[in-house]
Structure 1
C-alpha cells in the first residue's frame, strides 16, 4: 500500500470520484478543500465514513464509496468537527444511507442548529484563504435528526480497534482517531500536512506538518495542548483533514518539532484576541 501513497502524492487525487487506498482497510477521497476517510476493507459490510467534505459533494462521495464498497452503505458517519468543509454533505449522506452521525459532546451544539462558530480571522495573514475566511460559512447546520454524541470513554461505535481523542482548540469538540496496533492517526484539523491559509500551497499540496488552520482556530492554548497530546502518541502515519497522508522519519521529526515549538511555528503573530 505504500506505493499507493507515493502514487497519490503524484496525481494529487484530482479525480473527484476515485478513492485512494492508503492501508488495507483505510482509503480517502479528496474533495476540493478537505479529505474524507473510509475505514473498512474493500467490499466490507462493516465500514465507517469519517467527515463529509463541503456541501454539494454528496453524489461524488457516494460514487467514490461505491468504487470501494459496492452498494454497501457505511454503518455510520463520524465527524472530527463541524466546520463547513467537514460537515457540508453530512445531511444529504445521512439521509441517503439512513445512518447515524456521531460527534463529540462539545461539538453537538454546532451541528444541531443551535450555535454558530466564530467567523474566520483574516488578520492571521498567510494567503487568500485566510483573507477570505470571514466569508466562509459559520452558521450551524441542523443534523439533529441523525446526530448522537460519542461515549465519554474514547470508544467509537462500530470501530473496535480505534479510539477517539478529544483534541480541542480548532473547535471545542474536535476529535482525532487513533489505532494503537499500527499507530495510525486520523488527525482531522488538529494537525494537517499542508499550509491551509495559502491557496498556492493547497493547489500544490506541499507536504509539511502544520498546526490547525489559523483562520479558523480560536483557542490556541488548547490547540497547543492537543498537538502535544497527539505527538506523545508517536504516530507512524498521519491521515489529515487537509493535505496528503504522511509517515516515516519526516513525520516524526516535524511533529515533534511542532509540539516543542508550537507558539513559534503555529500561532500567528497577528490574530484576533481570544475570547
Structure 2
C-alpha cells in the first residue's frame, strides 16, 4: 500500500489518499475537489470510500463533489453525523458566516473502536475525542502509521475552544491512544508536517 498527502484549501488541511493497487481511500477531503479527482483519474484508481477524522468544515468541504463523482460512501463518527449540514457545528458558520459549508449526510457511521475493513483496506479505528466529540484516528499497523486528524500535531495539539472541544479529554486521548503506539509510528496530522510518536514524546511541549 502507498499513500499521498494533499495540502488543501486556505487552512492547509492535510488530506490523505491511500492506494492499494487500483483502489483507494481518501481521508479528510477538505477542499480542492477538482485536484483530488484529477489525481484519482490520472492514476486510474477506483475510489472505494471517503473517511473523515472529524466533521469540521476544513476537513469536509470537498466530500460531496468527490462522492458525486465516484459514488463512494462517506464515513464519519456517529457523534458528528449531524454536523455535516450544520455550519454552526462544523465551524464554517463561525469563521465564514457568509459562505457556510453544508454537505449531505454520511452514508456510514462509525459507532465504536475496532477493526474496519473497506474494499480490501484494513485498519483500526481509535476514538480520540477532545478536539471534537467524534474525532477518530485511523491506525494502519502494518504500514506503521496513524492518521489522527486534529488530535496531535508536530510539536502541538488540536484546539479545544470550538463547539464540543474538551482539553482534558484531548490529552487523555493523546496519552491513552496515541502515545501507547511504538515510537517509530508515523503520525499523519490534519495540519502541518508529518512527525512520529517518538519525536512528539521528546519535543512536543504539551507532552514532554
Q: Which TM class, normalised by the smaller chain length?
A: 0.7 to 0.9
- Deviation (angstroms), 1:169: 1.1
1:73 equivalent to 2:46? Answer yes
CA contact (8 A) 1:237 1:251 kept: no
Aligned to 1:3: none
Deviations 1:112-159 (A, max 9, x none): x35732869xxxxxxxxxxxx942469672422x52202524222316
Structure 1 unpaired stretches of 5+: 1-23, 121-132, 194-208, 261-275
Equivalent-residue separation in structure 2 for 1:147 and 1:140 (angstroms): 18
- Deviation (angstroms), 1:215: 5.0
Aligned to 1:162: 123
Q: Identify if the C-alpha distance between structure 1 residues 119 and 25 changes in structure 2 by more than 3 Å, giving closer, same or farther.
A: closer
Equivalent-residue separation in structure 2 for 1:149 and 1:88 (angstroms): 18
Aligned to 1:267: none
**Of 66, 74, 89, which residue of structure 2 is paired with 1:117?**
89
Deviations 1:147-184 (A, max 9, x none): 22025242223164311111111111011111223431
Task: Summarize the alignment of residues 118-197 of structure 1 with structure 2, pairs less than 5 Å apart.
Answer: 134-136=94-96, 141-144=102-105, 146-158=106-118, 160-193=121-154
- Structure having the higher strand fraction is 2
Task: Summarize the alignment of residues 41-60 of structure 1 with structure 2, pairs less than 5 Å apart.
Answer: 41=20, 44-54=21-31, 57-60=32-35
1:212 equivalent to 2:158? Answer yes
Paired residues, number: 201
* TM-score, scaled to structure 1: 0.64
Aligned to 2:170: 223
Which protein has the larger Cα radius of gyration, Structure 1 or Structure 2?
1
Q: Give the secondary-structure state (helix, strand or coil) at the position aligned to 1:93.
A: helix
Equivalent-residue separation in structure 2 for 1:66 and 1:175 (angstroms): 28
Equivalent-residue separation in structure 1 for 2:27 and 2:78 (angstroms): 17
1:27 equivalent to 2:4? Answer yes
Equivalent-residue separation in structure 1 for 2:79 and 2:111 (angstroms): 12
CA contact (8 A) 2:113 2:127 kept: no
Equivalent-residue separation in structure 1 for 2:162 and 2:75 (angstroms): 22
Q: Give the secondary-structure state (helix, strand or coil) at the position aligned to 2:64.
A: helix
Deviations 1:21-60 (A, max 9, x none): xxx512111113101101124xx22221101013xx1111
CA contact (8 A) 1:100 1:148 kept: yes
Equivalent-residue separation in structure 2 for 1:119 and 1:40 (angstroms): 30
* TM-score, scaled to structure 2: 0.83
- Deviation (angstroms), 1:76: 0.5
Aligned to 1:242: 191
Structure 2 unpaired stretches of 5+: none
Equivalent-residue separation in structure 2 for 1:53 and 1:119 (angstroms): 13
